[in-house]
């Protein structure tokens, strides 16, 4: 997905991506509720410790003061307890298979993380 704004740092890019993921998670939560499956808490994983910290703490820092105020709604959602944002280690992040070139064994590990069965050759 293309970001609607230009990020000035990798932390900001990850923060924008986390905000978009939270918006999608909220939509999915409503969709599942409409189907009769109520979920109390959603967890969004992010592999950037600094972006996770920025989502949880309203710190006005010299490096983050330029971030668009519209993106800070994620803090309100977390504070209310509707969504949780947690750090995920790069070694255990299945999203890497969609964003990076991986060796075959790491790609297979990512498939295992999302419970996708690999086709076995005869």
Mean pLDDT of 40-67: 73
The mean of the pLDDT values for the chain is: 79
What is the sign of the dihedral through the CA atoms of 44, 50, 53 and 55? negative
d(CA 13, CA 16): 5
Within 10 Å of residue 101's Cβ, how many Cβ atoms? 8
pLDDT digits (tens, 9 = 90+) for 3-13: 566 666 777 77
What is the sign of the dihedral through the CA atoms of 79, 22, 86 and 74? negative
Inter-axis angle of helices 10-34 and 49-56, to 10 degrees? 60
């Amino acid at each position: 997905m293309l970001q609607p704004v230009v990020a000035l740092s990798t932390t900001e890019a990850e923060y924008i991506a986390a905000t978009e993921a939270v918006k999608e998670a909220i939509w999915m939560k409503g969709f599942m509720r409409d189907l009769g499956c109520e979920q109390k808490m959603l967890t969004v994983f992010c592999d950037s410790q600094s972006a996770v910290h920025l989502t949880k703490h309203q710190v006005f820092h010299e490096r983050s003061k330029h971030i668009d105020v519209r993106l800070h709604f994620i803090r309100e959602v977390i504070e209310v307890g509707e969504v949780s944002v947690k750090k995920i280690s790069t070694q255990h992040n299945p999203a890497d298979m969609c964003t990076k070139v991986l060796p075959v064994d790491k790609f297979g590990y990512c498939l295992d993380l999302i419970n996708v069965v690999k086709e076995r050759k005869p």
